[in-house]
Amino acid sequence: MDTGILIDSFADFARGKNIDRPTMIRILEDVFRTMIRKKYKTDDNFDIIINTDKGDLEIWRFREIVDDNSEDIWDHDKISLTEAREIEPDFEIGEEVSEEIKLEDFGRRAVMTARQTLIQKIKDLEKDILFQKYKDLVGEIIAGEVYQTLSREILLIDGEGNELNLPKSEQISKDRYRKGDSVRAIVHRVEMVNGNPKIILSRTSPTFLERLFESEVPEVYDGLITMKNVVREPGERAKVAVESYDDRIDPVGACVGMKGSRIHSIVRELQNENIDVINFTDNMELYIARALSPAKIVSMVISEEKDRVSVYLKPDQVSLAIGKGGQNIKLASRLVGLEIDVFRELDGSQEEDVDLNEFSDEIESWVIDELKKIGLDTAKSVLKLSAEELVRRTDLEEETVQNVLNIFKQEFE
């Protein structure tokens, strides 16, 4: 292969991969020095001159002229006087011979191997560049286009045609995508799998919600409002604690926006995830009260170990504190970093009883509905009937009825 063709084809390939000129030259020199070492055992006394713009390559070998009978004649950087004069007749002992080595002197097989090595080095470099690029983007939002939907993941491509992975576990349960759809997510992590970079995205990470707030709320982006903690049940509910160091800025109001204008686009992006934004405070009791919003707390007791808190509420506030499927209390616990135990507080005039809806985190909704069909809407009204009577009057099995009764009995013990 002609030297110019080899250099030109490599340079075109490298430029197509956005490899800069100094890197191209470094790779070319590394490959040619490998060829030299294979043929001459060392490359110490060789110079390589490359011009990728013109497709030029020059390889020069330098040796010192010694007497034909010298002991140094076999050194790699020495040449006998007789051999030197075959190159140029007027050479003398002690002078330096510079001899150009042509690419074809290495043989066709070596040149073809060099060409394949050059291409492979560029591909490896391209993988390294892609890996490092996305490594630096971990935690940042990017957009990709869906090109294939699989059972366990969705494959996307970025603006440069690189493959991105959005696993099922990192998707919001309500997410539904078709080929060609645009998807926003954060770069969750980057791994090397069998020598290839694998870029994994996430839409369920709390960091994704943080970045969405940064993009929609200028005060958060500018650092005027700090997001102290973010907890999520992706696609269902989230709680965000915010703080402002400027007394003139209301952090909650700024995050929500006029008539919810700022938070609305975030909620829509997260498939209507319900987002509670609260003011952070170092006052733990006040922080817990805000975290359990919209429930109103009567009193609370924090354990000596500072790992649990007992919260007392009016009966009509308990279901609000617990939330649908226990979401509110779970998120509040994670937000404040304490286990929260909820208790009902009754005044002396009230007869202690509990609405069936307040047991939704322990009893399935269809079971509660069966009890309501026969006019039972509180725990004590159910306990007034025997298990046999409940089985006869509802479509519930005896085992289910017994389980319900046990739960209600424990409530009043």
Is 210 part of a structural domain of the chain?
no
State whether 189 and 268 are in the same domain: no
State whether 338 and 245 are in the same domain: no
Own/partner pairs, 250-259, CB within 8 angstroms, 24+ separation: 251/219, 251/225, 251/277, 251/279, 252/277, 252/278, 252/279, 254/217, 254/219, 254/220, 254/225, 255/213, 255/217, 255/219, 255/220, 255/225, 257/216, 257/217
Per-residue pLDDT, 318: 85
Is 195 part of a structural domain of the chain?
yes
State whether 116 and 174 are in the same domain: no
CATH of the domain at 266: 3.30.300.20
Q: For the chain, what is the domain count?
A: 5
Per-residue pLDDT, 349: 44
Spell out the per-residue pLDDT of the chain, length 413, in tens.
456 677 777 777 777 767 777 887 888 888 888 888 888 889 999 998 887 677 678 889 999 999 988 888 888 888 999 988 988 888 889 999 988 888 878 888 887 888 788 878 878 888 888 899 999 999 999 999 999 999 899 999 998 889 999 999 999 999 999 999 999 999 999 999 888 899 999 999 999 999 999 999 999 999 999 999 999 999 999 999 999 988 889 999 999 988 888 999 999 999 999 999 999 999 999 999 999 988 899 889 998 888 899 998 888 888 888 888 889 999 999 999 999 988 877 654 445 677 787 788 788 888 888 888 887 878 888 888 888 888 888 888 888 889 988 888 887 76
Domain that holds residue 270: 215-274
CATH of the domain at 166: 2.40.50.140
State whether 98 and 182 are in the same domain: no
pTM of this structure: 0.68
Q: How far is Cα 378 from Cα 370, in angstroms, rounded to an integer?
A: 13
Q: Could you tell me which residues are beta bridge partners of residue 231?
A: 239
Per-residue pLDDT, 123: 82
- Please report, for residues 46, 69, 74, the alpha-carbon distance to residue 98 in angstroms, rounded to integers and kept in the order given: 9, 21, 17
